[in-house]
Amino acid sequence: MEFLIRATVVSDLEVFFLNQLDEESNQMAAFTSADPTDKKSYIDKWTRLLSDETIHMKTIIYNDEVAGTVAKYEMDGKAEITYWIGKRYWGRGIASKAVDAFLRLEKKRPIYGRVAFDNVKSLRVLEKAGFVKIGSELSYANARGKEIEEIIFRLD
């Protein structure tokens, strides 16, 4: 198995867009865009964000294929981690490896992670990486059309 993370390029965005179209993936992630089928908005947004200095984005490569993304962004001055793995790559430990590799490159601390309360696998990814649960809040989840509990993690 070949695994690595590399700088994201615009051509990767097509795969990221297709990954986030999967209904089960959207339900798990919960906190998605209002219209995940709007390809133009998705590509335009992420193309613009690739040049944003507050965003550190990497592409996950598994066996020479784009498998997903891992990134740091800032919200209200706080660094947050996000990741998305294509469904066909689930269950292989790729998210955990990607987060570990990314955190060796991204030095900003503290860094926060937020996960839907019932996304057990993603909760475990953050815990394995050393994140500690610091609280929770109700947030509107576009993919579910309602407020749900979002678990908040922190890594110092």
Contact, 8 vs 69, CB < 8 A? yes
Q: Is the pLDDT of residue 146 over 90?
A: yes
Contacts of 115 (CB under 8 A, 6+ apart): 122, 123, 126, 150, 151, 153
Buried b (16+ CB within 10 A) or exposed e, 44-80: eebeeebeeeebbbbbbbbeeebbbbbbbeeeeeebb
Q: Where are the beta strands (DSSP E) in the chain?
A: 3-7, 56-62, 65-75, 78-85, 111-116, 132-141, 146-155
Residue 93: predicted pLDDT? 95
Domains and CATH numbers, the chain: 3-112 (3.40.630.30)
Geometric angle at alpha carbon 81, from 69 and 90, rounded to 5°: 45
Q: Is the pLDDT of residue 2 over 80?
A: yes
Interval 19-63: pLDDT, tens = 998 888 888 888 888 888 999 999 999 999 999 999 999 999 999
Residue 30: predicted pLDDT? 86
Interval 68-123: pLDDT, tens = 999 999 989 999 999 999 999 999 999 999 999 999 999 999 999 999 999 999 99
CA distance 100 to 37: 30
Q: Is the pLDDT of residue 124 over 80?
A: yes
pTM exceeds cut of 0.85: yes
Tokens in use for 11?
Answer: 């051509």
Q: How far is CA 148 from CA 27, 38, 48, 122, in A?
A: 12, 24, 29, 16
Q: Is the pLDDT of residue 1 over 80?
A: no
